[in-house]
Chain A
Amino acid sequence: SAVISQKPSRDICQRGTSLTIQCQVDSQVTMMFWYRQQPGQSLTLIATANQGSEATYESGFVIDKFPISRPNLTFSTLTVSNMSPEDSSIYLCSVGGVRSTEAFFGQGTRLTVV
């Protein structure tokens, strides 16, 4: 299993500002995933972050809006840039690897943009 610490757990931000969410894993993992869960909806994959290469973004998500860093095998950050109220969501970090058949999730970051 993997234990994931995600910070902050929640934040209220002004529109036009940016927020960086941190994700720390207690073991080295190949891949880290960032999801968005909009109110009352399921999880939508934003991007996949591999250490040592640029993140791979899903359709509808772009690097300028959601830049991701992956400096090592235990840590990643997701930035939500130039926020608007539509960005109000829960953002979840997840890990899984080539040898892992299970996804583990952080507690999530509940973001409210006002």
Chain B
Amino acid sequence: AQSVTQLDSQVPVFEEAPVELRCNYSSSVSVYLFWYVQYPNQGLQLLLKYLSGSTLVKGINGFEAEFNKSQTSFHLRKPSVHISDTAEYFCAVSSRGNTGNQFYFGTGTSLTVIP
């Protein structure tokens, strides 16, 4: 089974500063990688995903992530954060099984943007 580790449970950052949210995964098979965002009192929204190809993936709201196979990492970055980026961020992996994809989520990173 896969596991996902988000190394930082809380990340405070000043507005317009860069941010990196870390994610490592463990898997013996090929996986798909995702970052989801959850705004207060809302469901999960997909930020970006890595399926194959270029290891640098660009998503919505100016976020990007880089897949590093040797380090089994998929860190999320944004060069300049806004107040509206304050939310919970979840890294997830999925693997293709016989009957479809099953997702495994990290414990989440709470990003707080400070004015």
**Which residues of A are at the interface with B, using a C-beta cutoff of 8 A?**
6, 30-31, 33, 41-43, 45, 48, 50, 92, 94, 96-98, 100-108, 110
Contact = CB atoms under 8 A, between A and B. Distances in A.
A104 to B, nearest CB: 8
Contacts, number: 62
Contacts of B101: 96-98, 100-101, 103
20 contacts: A6-B43, A30-B100, A31-B99, A31-B100, A33-B102, A33-B103, A42-B106, A42-B107, A45-B103, A92-B43, A92-B44, A96-B94, A96-B101, A96-B103, A97-B100, A100-B100, A101-B51, A101-B94, A103-B101, A103-B103
B54 to A, nearest CB: 16
Contact of A106 (B43, B99, B100, B106): B43
Nearest to B98: A98
A109 to B, nearest CB: 10
A84 to B, nearest CB: 24
Dominant SS among interface residues on chain B: strand
A20 B28 CA distance: 37
Interface of B: 32, 34, 36, 41-46, 49, 51, 90, 92, 94, 99-108
